[in-house]
Amino acid sequence: MTLRIAITPGEPAGIGPDLLLKLAQQTWDAQLVAIADANMLKQRAKHLGLSIKLIEFDQHAAATPAPAGSLYLHQVDVAEPVELGVLNDANGQYVLDTLRIASEKNMDGTFAAVVTGPVHKGIINKAGISFSGHTEYFAQQSNTADVVMMLATQGLRVALVTTHIPLAYVSRAITEDRLIKVASILNHDLQTKFGIEKPRILVCGLNPHAGEDGHLGREEIDTIIPTLEILNNQGMNLIGPLPADTLFQDKYLNEADAVLAMYHDQGLPVLKYKGFGNSVNITLGLPFIRTSVDHGTALDLAGKGTADVGSFELAIREAIKLAQEKAQNQ
């Protein structure tokens, strides 16, 4: 059975459309459907010297993969013409509309997964729409209280307790409740989506040297250690809290299935240093499959044809793989 995968190229002035057009030059083992503006894609293809045939998406027709050099399209109009590398808040609503449609059509079963290209959070907010990231947006749209951001590259998976919040709020956001929910979703999805029977998860402390017995902060003693105890008593295999500056060594990572970091810039710089361009962002805990790139809009590279397709390609491959496994298990 051919599965349908929604693709949102993201910010139209960034590299998302370039990468999708490049990837549409090959054939895929799924029906990829771009949710985007046709004229914007055609103009970008022309600029990049790529040939592209856009095929109107009909969800009632049989799902078939597009031939190389073509792409199924669900039309969403940009509000204003797109200038390469130049953000325009008039198109903020367009970006959000592509995400809303992808979400709705994953929820109703039209698509088996969504792969998202990079969006610019700032310009969406400048357009008057409160937006902190796809992870939070899809959670809200699907009425899911708790989801987990996990990025994965060869040999390393990093999941986050907190995502796109100011650093000043992180300590307050690390509660027993949040830790239990995040660790449970991570543990469950490592078992069900990645086939790991009893995941071994390394948990970072929040403070330098995991708080140094309370001398450098008390979150470990007051919240993290007691919560890990509760979860380990329930059968999980959580190791920590460990000092985040030294846990990212092969001798620890080789024995682990994932690292749980307390906040965005504790875990992701390590992951991206190891695997930028070869990593995938997966939202765990959603009622549908969502993968994404490991990079942003790279406005400096839009239209140049030099942006690396590696992460977008991996995100599509991972979405297809997860969707095929889900279909087989249903």
Ligand X SMILES: NC(=O)c1ccc[n+]([C@@H]2O[C@H](COP(=O)([O-])OP(=O)(O)OC[C@H]3O[C@@H](n4cnc5c(N)ncnc54)[C@H](O)[C@@H]3O)[C@@H](O)[C@H]2O)c1
Q: Pick one of ligand 4TP, ligand X, none as the site partner of residue 300 (Cβ within 5 to 8 A by kind).
A: ligand X
Indicate whether 85 belongs to the interface with ligand X (CB under 6 A). Answer: no
Indicate whether 142 belongs to the interface with ligand 4TP (CB under 6 A). Answer: no
C-beta of residue 214 within 8 angstroms of C-beta of residue 179: no
Q: What is the nearest approach in angstroms of ligand 4TP to the Cβ of residue 296?
A: 7
Q: What is the nearest approach in angstroms of ligand 4TP to the Cβ of residue 10?
A: 9
Dist CA 327 CA 38 (whole Å): 30
Tell me which stretch binds ligand X (CB under 6 A): 37-45, 106-114, 213-221, 294-302.
294-302
Indicate whether 88 belongs to the interface with ligand X (CB under 6 A). Answer: no
Residue 152 exposed, middle or buried by CB count within 10 Å (0-12, 13-18, 19+): buried
281 is in an annotated binding site: yes
164 is in an annotated binding site: yes
Q: What is the DSSP string of 264-307?
A: HHHHHHHHHHHHTTS-EEEEES-SSEEEE-SS---GGGTTTS-S
198 is in an annotated binding site: no
Q: What is the nearest approach in angstroms of ligand X to the Cβ of residue 284?
A: 16
Q: What is the nearest approach in angstroms of ligand 4TP to the Cβ of residue 322?
A: 16
Of the pair 116, 142, the CB lying nearest ligand X is at 116
178 is in an annotated binding site: no
Residue 275 exposed, middle or buried by CB count within 10 Å (0-12, 13-18, 19+): buried
Beta strands in the chain (DSSP E): 4-8, 31-36, 53-56, 70-75, 113-116, 148-153, 156-160, 200-204, 237-242, 258-261, 280-284, 289-292
Dist CA 78 CA 54 (whole Å): 16
| Helix (H/G/I), strand (E/B), else coil: 239 | strand
Of the pair 152, 183, the CB lying nearest ligand 4TP is at 152
Nearest residue to ligand 4TP on Cβ basis: 133
Dist CA 274 CA 102 (whole Å): 30
Query: Which one of 118, 205, 211, 241 is in contact with ligand X (CB under 6 A)?
Result: 118
C-beta of residue 282 within 8 angstroms of C-beta of residue 291: yes
Indicate whether 34 belongs to the interface with ligand X (CB under 6 A). Answer: no
Query: Which one of 157, 259, 295, 316 is in contact with ligand X (CB under 6 A)?
Result: 295
CA-to-CA separations, 133 to 112, 294, 325, 328, in angstroms, rounded? 21, 13, 27, 30
Of the pair 110, 135, the CB lying nearest ligand 4TP is at 135
264 is in an annotated binding site: yes
Residue 1: both structure tokens together: 């059975």
Residues with Cβ within 8 Å of residue 111, at least 6 apart in sequence: 4, 5, 6, 33, 102, 105, 288
One character per residue 292-311, x = contact with ligand 4TP (rule: CB under 6 A): x-x-----------------
Tell me which stretch binds ligand 4TP (CB under 6 A): 86-94, 98-106, 128-136, 315-323.
128-136
Indicate whether 35 belongs to the interface with ligand X (CB under 6 A). Answer: no
Residues with Cβ within 8 Å of residue 46, at least 6 apart in sequence: none
Q: Pick one of ligand X, ligand 4TP, none as the site partner of residue 301 (Cβ within 5 to 8 A by kind).
A: ligand X
Largest CA distance in the chain: 64
Binding residues for substrate: 134-135, 272, 281, 290
Binding residues for a divalent metal cation: 164, 209, 264
Site of interaction with ligand X (CB under 6 A): 10, 15, 118-122, 134, 292-293, 295-298, 300-301, 307-308
Binding residues: 134-135, 164, 209, 264, 272, 281, 290
Site of interaction with ligand 4TP (CB under 6 A): 133-135, 149, 264, 268, 281, 292, 294
